[in-house]
């Protein structure tokens, strides 16, 4: 029942109206793993530079995160600097320094090639495909991407999609990929390209699981305090995949429940800076929040008229 993620391990400097961080742990693989490890052990493939505070990663290992697939390369680590608007609705990238990430060539440790659940974080689709070629028949391949690859490497991305079970993207990415602004038509377009399902994240509005004959909707958790939206999408992916690996199933009912675990993790992510939102979260709290989600959309049965 192994769970594998390939993605970025970065240092984020984030400015929000509520504070700022400098060179904090970040990157898709980090957010994913911190969330997923609340549900199932995770193995991480990535790269860091010689300046990375690897002891901070190791401090997270006892949660069930195996960082031994993270290569230590000579050079600078991937750094991202961003600033959010006053209402956290938009953000501006102030600086992106790829560093050693620019030459990243994911290599799966030998014992990891038979992972059953794989999340391909947002990296070059050629590398995502390369990861799949190193694997021996995973049960579920879920993949993220971004507008940069959609614009610059669409043929590679479309080739990758043929081998992906679920594409997990945000709404603007689904729109750009399909060329259709209607999110449901965009989802259907993507289903025609290979994936059996599409998860469309809509930020503070929740997320959709679009299947050929059916759609599932999970809202975002109602939060009166949001500190930092960074990583919410990757934490969502971590909750989604962590749950599926835990129950070792891809049954339709479990995929719906996985969406709720994803939404729960997305909520925890935004409640603190960087991965700090997870500092005090344990499995019981995850379960409590999942139950709260079920209540949030529960439609009581019709009562007979008296």
Q: Phi and psi for 48 in degrees, rounded to 5?
A: -130, 160
Closest CA to 241 of 165, 160, 132: 165
The CB-of-267 to its own copies minimum distance in angstroms stands at 12
The CB-of-185 to its own copies minimum distance in angstroms stands at 5
Residue from 40, 43, 197, 257 in contact with its own copies (CB under 8 A): 257
Whole-angstrom distance, CA of residue 135 vs CA of residue 114: 6
Q: Are 208 and 215 in contact (CB under 8 A)?
A: yes
Whole-angstrom distance, CA of residue 91 vs CA of residue 131: 31
By CB under 8 A, is residue 268 in contact with its own copies? no
Q: Are 119 and 8 in contact (CB under 8 A)?
A: no
By CB under 8 A, is residue 1 in contact with its own copies? no
Q: Are 160 and 125 in contact (CB under 8 A)?
A: yes
Residue from 95, 133, 284, 303 in contact with its own copies (CB under 8 A): 303
By CB under 8 A, is residue 68 in contact with its own copies? no
By CB under 8 A, is residue 288 in contact with its own copies? no
Buried b (16+ CB within 10 A) or exposed e, 242-255: bbbbbbebbeeeeb
The CB-of-251 to its own copies minimum distance in angstroms stands at 8
User: Candidates 57-65, 110-118, 140-148, 213-221 — which segment interacts with its own copies by CB under 8 A?
Assistant: 213-221
By CB under 8 A, is residue 254 in contact with its own copies? yes
Q: Are 167 and 161 in contact (CB under 8 A)?
A: yes
By CB under 8 A, is residue 247 in contact with its own copies? yes
User: Candidates 41-49, 53-61, 203-211, 277-285 — which segment interacts with its own copies by CB under 8 A?
Assistant: 203-211
Strand order in the sheet with 19-26: 19-26, 10-16, 78-84, 91-97
Query: 72: how many CB neighbours lie within 10 A of its CB?
Result: 12
Residue from 61, 90, 184, 279 in contact with its own copies (CB under 8 A): 184
Residue from 149, 236, 240, 293 in contact with its own copies (CB under 8 A): 293
By CB under 8 A, is residue 188 in contact with its own copies? yes
x/- letters, 19..58, toward its own copies (CB under 8 A): ----------------------------------------
Cα dist. 42→135, 146, 234, 242, 284 in Å? 16, 23, 14, 8, 19
Residue from 87, 95, 133, 284 in contact with its own copies (CB under 8 A): 87
Residues lying near its own copies in the complex (CB under 8 A) are found at 86-87, 181-182, 184-185, 188, 202, 205-206, 208, 214-219, 222-226, 247, 253-254, 256-257, 260, 293-300, 302-303, 305
């Amino acid at each position: 029942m192994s769970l594998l993620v390939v993605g970025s391990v970065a240092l984020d400097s984030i400015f929000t109206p509520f504070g700022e961080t400098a060179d904090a742990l970040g990157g898709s693989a980090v957010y994913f793993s911190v969330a997923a490890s609340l549900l199932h052990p995770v193995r991480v493939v990535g790269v860091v530079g010689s300046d990375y505070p690897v002891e901070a990663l190791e401090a997270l290992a006892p949660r069930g995160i195996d960082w031994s697939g993270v290569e230590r390369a000579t050079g600078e680590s991937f750094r991202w600097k961003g600033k959010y608007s006053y209402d956290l609705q938009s953000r501006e990238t102030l600086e992106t320094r790829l560093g050693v990430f620019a030459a990243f060539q994911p290599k799966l440790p030998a014992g990891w090639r038979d992972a059953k659940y794989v999340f391909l974080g947002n990296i070059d689709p050629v590398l995502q495909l390369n990861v799949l070629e190193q694997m021996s028949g995973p049960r579920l391949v879920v993949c993220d991407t971004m507008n940069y690859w959609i614009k610059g490497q669409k043929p590679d991305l479309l080739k990758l999609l043929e081998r992906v079970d679920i594409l997990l993207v945000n709404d603007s990415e689904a729109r750009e990929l399909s060329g259709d602004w209607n999110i449901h038509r965009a989802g259907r377009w993507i289903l025609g390209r290979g994936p059996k399902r599409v998860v469309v994240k809509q930020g503070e509005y929740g997320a959709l699981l679009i299947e050929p004959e059916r759609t599932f909707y999970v809202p975002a958790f109602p939060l009166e305090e949001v500190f930092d939206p960074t990583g919410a999408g990757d934490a969502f992916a971590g909750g989604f995949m962590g749950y599926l690996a835990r129950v070792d199933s891809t049954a339709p009912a479990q995929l719906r429940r996985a969406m709720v675990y994803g939404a729960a993790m997305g909520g925890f992510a935004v409640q603190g800076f960087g991965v700090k939102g997870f500092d005090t979260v344990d499995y019981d709290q995850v379960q409590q929040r999942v139950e709260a989600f079920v209540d949030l959309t529960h439609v009581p049965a019709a009562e007979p008229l008296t």
